[in-house]
Amino acid sequence: MSNQQDTDELLPTQTENYKVSEKKAVDELQNLDANDESLNKWKASLGLGQAELRFPNDQRTVIVQALVLQSGDHVIRMDVSNERAIEELSKRTVSIKEGIEYTFKIEFVVQREVVSGLVFLQKLKRMNVTVERTEDMCGSFGPKYETQEKRFPVATAPSGMLARGLYNIRSRFVDDDGVVHLDWTWKMEIKKDW
């Protein structure tokens, strides 16, 4: 499979006739419709009044910190906060038990501007064949000092002899403007037991 086709498979689904609105600076958004009470509540929920930067030397708008897989008491936290951490993650294999129910959570920091339409995309391949592609809408987020997170719906790991084995996974965090905030690969092995 070519890299171009691989990239195309990890683009968010486009809604027909949807047009991304013009990007506005945080101070512009704060001053829009200042007398609209409901709009002011929405702007406050985005944290538009917060100016303090969590990572002032990092020019990225969205800093993805971790992808967390949880199943009952089993928690696997995958650090993706920097290139070195991603490189280390790519060298190891995350193992899970077949047939378990699990959920993913992504932890990230947004700074400097509002990011709209964040989407988490993931593609699982086994023996170079795509076996699953997921697309989860995260929403829009304003800049905040605190770590923000998005938890995804519960999923069930495949089970049975044919499902067991190594899966190559490519994950991507992208927004409405097509900005890819993080794109990384990792490996997961489905086993008979933990």
How many domains does the structure of the chain reveal? 1
Name 81's Cβ contacts closer than 8 Å, sequence gap at least 6: 63, 64, 65, 66
User: At residue 180, what is the residue type?
Assistant: V
Question: Does residue 40 form part of some domain?
Answer: no
Does 34 fall in a domain?
no
pTM of the entire predicted model: 0.77
Residue 181 is assigned to a structural domain of this protein: yes
- Residue 13 forms part of a structural domain: no
The per-residue pLDDT string of the chain (194 residues; one tens digit each, 9 = 90 and over) reads 445 455 556 766 655 655 655 665 655 655 666 677 877 776 666 666 556 899 999 999 999 999 999 999 999 999 999 999 999 999 999 999 999 999 999 999 999 888 999 999 999 999 999 999 999 999 999 899 999 999 999 999 999 999 999 999 999 999 999 999 999 999 999 999 98
Cα 53 to Cα 145: distance, rounded to the nearest angstrom:
6
DSSP 112-143: SS-EEEEEEEEEEEETTEEEEEEEEEEEEE--
Measured distance CA(175)–CA(92) in Å, rounded: 28
In a domain, 77, yes or no: yes
Quote the pLDDT of residue 52.
82
Domain span at residue 129 reads 54-191
Whether residue 165 lies inside any domain: the answer is yes
Task: Return the CATH number at 167.
Answer: 2.70.50.30
CB-neighbour burial class of residue 175 (10 A; exposed 0-12, middle 13-18, buried 19+): buried
